Amino acid sequence: MKKSLAVFAVAVLALPSLALAQKYVDSDGKLRIALAKQPFAPNRQSPGPDTMAGGGLIEKLEAMGALVRVSKVALTEEEDTEYGGWKRLGMALGHYGKTIAQNEKDGYFSVGLYASCPSLPGMLAGLQNSGPPQEPLKVGLLWLDAHPDYNTPETTRSGSLGGMPVAVAAGKCLHGIRLDAGLNPPIAEKHIVMGGVRLTDPLEQNILDNSFIEVLGVDPLRTMSDDLFAQLDRLHRTTDKLYIHIDMDVLDPKEVEFHGNAVPDGVSSEELARLFEEIFKRYDKASAIGFATIPSRDPNGLALQAVHHMILGAVTGLKARN
């Protein structure tokens, strides 16, 4: 199926974008950056988003000339009584999507700080719904993770929702969570590119092999390869907004020693910081970046340093663009 992508990309080149390029600067020329925390995981709340926003990140951004907005999603009192972790997560993502959409409309670049990867539909919903009313935007996704997270309840071996968020966002399963998040329609497979993937379940691999998703390994990220930028060029032509998602397990375990899903031979945060600087400088539709699953144990502060390094790389590119 993937061989038809090149033909499709050519066919849609002439289609207009619904979204104007967002400059993310105020009248004084200051970058507007929103740190958007989403602490809800499927069955708990995580301190991870607060951790990632700490350690002097706001001061570092302000030193770069940024005006920083901070938000944290919460349930209403009535929602907080709802039964079921997945249902509560979906409702939290609904609030999160509205926060992201408002950031976009206010001219703030969103940095998503997540408990875990199932936050993805909320971010995508916010970008999708940040344009004209009743005109959902097309969102392109660069998914950077040691795992594709394209399992469904029928293919999963673990039963973990953490292995399903891209499948949920693409409309393959668990439509209730996606619709509660406000992501409708689902994002298209042809608008998904994965990088750093190096551990896939057998049935999950079969789904990917029969999809329109483009899957790249670690080396294209390390080298900023032509293949990677050819895919990003395609997403830039065929979508209205680009979103970059990072699960911390995409990194080499040296930087995320206590990550529960660490996989050997990952990319370094320095390499990704350079990549993000180039992406956000080059593509004016690159509209948000998000980080999930910082390890709860980080005794030497390496994981937190890695997050900050990657965020500052993206903001450096954004500053050069603006």
Query: With pLDDT > 70 as the criterion, what percentage of the chain qualifies?
Result: 93
Query: With pLDDT > 90 as the criterion, what percentage of the chain qualifies?
Result: 88
**What's the pLDDT tens digit per position in 13-47?**
334 444 456 789 998 889 999 999 999 999 899 99
Tell me phi and psi for residue 227, to 5 degrees.
Answer: -60, -40
For residues 104-114, give the mean pLDDT: 97
Structural domains of the chain, with CATH: 27-321 (3.40.800.10)
**Whole-model pTM over 0.75:** yes
